[in-house]
Chains A and B, each alone.
Chain A
Amino acid sequence: MTWERVRKAADKLTTPLLPDDYLTLINPLWSSRELRGRVEQVIPETEDAATLVIRPGWGWRYDHRPGQFVGIGVQVAGKYQWRSYSVSSPPVKSGRTLAITVRAMPEGKMSEHLVRGLKPGTIVRLATPAGDFVLPDPPPAKTLFLVGGSGITPVMSMLRTLDRRNTMGDVALHYSSTTPERMIFRTELHELAARHPGLKLHERHTDTDGIFGWDGLDHLCPDWRERETWACGPAPMLDAVELHWAAAGLADSLHLERFSLAVTGDGGEGGTITFQNSGKEIEADGATTVLEAGEKAGVGMPYGCRVGICHTCTVTKISGTVRDLRNGAEFDQPNEQVQTCVTVPVGPCTLNL
């Protein structure tokens, strides 16, 4: 706290900048202006997946809940690109690093860059942990995890937490992957299963065994109806799980984490704009700019020229997509700065206003 006070007093010497802006000249992590982190290690997990061990800078609190994801912003070709990845390390209060595990997706420039192009020492931006795909504390007595591919990452954080706290209990893990080689954390899972008799690991290699049919669940895990279930994997798998659990009237005991974004509605323009700080909401059509819509909703929108020249109106879009009316460019990154006077919403979006 005294340290905080010293920095606050030093404000007067560095105004209009912050002491942190100068401290980062010495160490890029010495700033709480934006959450930052330094990539300490890039550990290959499989041929196309790697774990990034990140040392967060000032202001980071190691209190994520097992299963949550963090936003990571990496400068690619000069531009900060943001993605969210599940934290795979367990929450440790005295921790100094956090780990995320990333699989390079085909056509996924960013994931490809994270897995193969990121050098240790790179400074990245971080966003605070979020998401409600989390393990409660204390954990349920009987648990079922259904995992497809890289969906293992949030589940791994949960399993490591159960292991660390020695509260494994009765856990069934069904893990599908195309081949054994592509199975992230395979060795560690085997070790965990050997150490905890309560953890039953069932692996399925879909290239040789074919895709799992949910009718087989009764055979694989006869008491699945009694288990609190967490499922994470590709969208078709989650759709099937959701249907299966709904049919059994057990939707309440199922927790889902979807990685791939749902395709935007009917592909048409317009959408609901939510203003996070004021809690206001307004429906806008594809011809109404975000600025006009915000003004109609009674939000104090910053604005200037209203023609895209002066950038006075620029605000942070937390989520969703907007389209630039001038050239049709779409801005779909979370935490992106957008010019509200020349953009329209494409589907629902949320602004930091």
Chain B
Amino acid sequence: MAIADVAEYAHLTKDEVEQLGREFDAIRAEIEESRGAKDAAYINKVITTQRWMAAGARIGMIVSSPFPRARKPVLAASAVTLGLAKILENMEIGHNVMHGQWDWMNDPEIHSSTWEWDTGQPAEQWKHSHNYIHHQFTNVLGVDNDIGYGVLRMAREQKWTPVALGQPVYNALLAALFQWGVALHDLDLEAIRKGQKDPEEMKRQLKQIAKKGRNQILKDYVLYPALSGKEWKSTIKANATANLMRNIWSYLIIFCGHFPDGALHFTEEELEDETRAEWYLRQIFGTANIEGGPLFHVMSGNLSYQIEHHLFPDLPSNRYAEISPRVQALCEKYGIPYSSGPLHRQYGQVLRTVMKLSLPNKMTKDDRPPTGADITIEHRRKAEEERQIRRTELGGWSRSAS
């Protein structure tokens, strides 16, 4: 079941919602004002650490190859270090830089317009599918392609077909091959299946993906193994392990941000005349946090603060920790649920949904709180001309809001 009007669902008056919006705007303004040398030092330190880790791991794999006795432990340590480096690069660095979180530094080398990340998907396509489609239309059925990524049925409103029976298998495959799932994401598999994709655009995107993917594969599975000489096979294994580590970890964090029971869905009616304050409200209802220690937050790219990230996608990630208690206090004040839990609980709920939704709705019980009309949505992204209209409207509210 999905929400058609977020303000009504939250039992808030129009004025209360707008007041809440102003409180969020105030937090944003305060953080923007206080960005400075400490934040810049933080991201530079993370980048330097990550690059040393990656370089160390690669060099370790090469120089240990002629020494049979040292090979095993060095290779194992290198594989793990490379995996951690890839996780850091993709999540705390790449994802956040591409969101424009560090654009304020005016550093052309750490900038959303120039960053390219260490994964199969070209940055340009990611910025469209993620920054725009997902963050603008978060959890709106039929519009946000992140609800199941066109592969899984993650909302009861999505039509059941016998194909869904294989969900547990698709889910495991998606986790293991997450990098490539993400790489194909902006193609919009759903649109292709329905023949709604512009073939010219698809060709352009595929070419871009092929070029990027080729370089990624060449690096991990041809060049570095070749540099390890006779030990090439074990280097391939080590690199595959590193990529698998990164794939499973990023899959886990991302799924736990949007698919636990506390993250709700919306119908397209919600988007009509939605104000910026209502957009904020939808972000809170549509996302969930994961609890953990400071290192856990860094390794998850601070996406464990998924609610804060969705409210302020372009504020520096190292500040989400201090924003979080303020957001919680506001949620309490306005009586809005703030969905948060440890990784095992959040993922447990995700897995349960994957399993349950592989079956038709009538065979299972809904775990989410009742939200609204029981409707069925054909998953379909808005036609291009309709989206153009929506863009202009949004431009209007954003400006008049401040």
Residues on the A chain within 8 Å of B132, using CB: 304-305, 309-310, 312
B131 adjacent to A304 (CB under 8 Å): yes
- Nearest CB on A from B126, distance (A): 10
Residues on the A chain within 8 Å of B41, using CB: 78
B163 at interface by CB-CB < 8 Å = no
Interface string of B256-291 (1 = CB under 8 A from A): 000000000000000000000000000000000000
Q: Most B CB atoms within 10 A — which of A79, A82, A302, A309?
A: A309
- Nearest CB on B from A14, distance (A): 8
A308 adjacent to B398 (CB under 8 Å): yes
B127 adjacent to A312 (CB under 8 Å): yes
B37 adjacent to A77 (CB under 8 Å): yes
A325 to B400, CA, bound (A): 9
B203 at interface by CB-CB < 8 Å = no
Interfacial residues of chain A within 310-353, with CB under 8 A of chain B in the complex: 310-312, 314-316, 325-327, 333, 335-337, 339, 341-342
A336 to B104, CA, bound (A): 10
B395 adjacent to A306 (CB under 8 Å): yes
Residues on the B chain within 8 Å of A310, using CB: 99-100, 127, 131-132, 135-136, 313
A311 adjacent to B219 (CB under 8 Å): no
A12 at interface by CB-CB < 8 Å = yes
A306 adjacent to B391 (CB under 8 Å): yes
Interface string of A278-309 (1 = CB under 8 A from B): 00000000000000000000000010111111
B52: contacting residue among A25, A308, A315, A339, CB under 8 A: A25
A33 to B106, CA, bound (A): 15
With both beta carbons as reference points, the residue of chain B lying nearest to A336 in the complex is identified as B106
- Nearest CB on B from A202, distance (A): 43
Tell me whether A341 and B395 are in contact in the complex, defined as CB-CB below 8 angstroms, given that A80-B106, A312-B127 are known contacts: yes
B95 at interface by CB-CB < 8 Å = no
Tell me whether A307 and B109 are in contact in the complex, defined as CB-CB below 8 angstroms, given that A13-B223, A15-B219, A16-B212 are known contacts: no
Q: In the complex, which range does the number of interface residues on chain B fall in?
A: 35 or more
Residues on the A chain within 8 Å of B379, using CB: none
A34 at interface by CB-CB < 8 Å = yes
With both beta carbons as reference points, the residue of chain A lying nearest to B111 in the complex is identified as A337
A16 to B35, CA, bound (A): 28
B216 at interface by CB-CB < 8 Å = yes
With both beta carbons as reference points, the residue of chain A lying nearest to B224 in the complex is identified as A13
B394 at interface by CB-CB < 8 Å = yes
A12 adjacent to B218 (CB under 8 Å): yes
B188 at interface by CB-CB < 8 Å = no
A75 at interface by CB-CB < 8 Å = yes
- Nearest CB on A from B278, distance (A): 14
A37 to B224, CA, bound (A): 33
With both beta carbons as reference points, the residue of chain B lying nearest to A16 in the complex is identified as B116
B38 at interface by CB-CB < 8 Å = yes
B103 at interface by CB-CB < 8 Å = yes
B108 at interface by CB-CB < 8 Å = yes
A21 at interface by CB-CB < 8 Å = yes
A22 at interface by CB-CB < 8 Å = yes
A312 adjacent to B106 (CB under 8 Å): no
Interface string of A206-240 (1 = CB under 8 A from B): 00000000000000000000000000000000000
A80 to B218, CA, bound (A): 36
Sample of 8 more A-B contacts, CB < 8 Å, known A16-B116, A307-B136, A342-B398: A13-B224, A73-B106, A309-B132, A309-B313, A310-B100, A310-B127, A325-B399, A335-B108
User: What are 30 A-to-B residue pairs whose CB atoms are below 8 Å?
Assistant: A12-B218, A16-B118, A16-B212, A17-B116, A22-B55, A25-B48, A25-B55, A75-B40, A75-B105, A75-B107, A77-B36, A78-B35, A79-B105, A302-B113, A304-B127, A306-B394, A309-B131, A309-B136, A310-B99, A311-B100, A311-B103, A311-B314, A312-B128, A314-B112, A325-B399, A326-B399, A333-B106, A336-B106, A337-B111, A342-B398
Residues of B within 8 A of A (CB): 29, 35-41, 48, 51-52, 55, 58, 98-100, 103-109, 111-113, 116-118, 127-128, 131-132, 135-136, 212, 215-216, 218-219, 223-224, 313-314, 391-392, 394-395, 397-399, 402
Nearest 7 CB-CB pairings of A with B: A311-B100, A78-B40, A310-B131, A16-B116, A307-B398, A304-B132, A80-B106
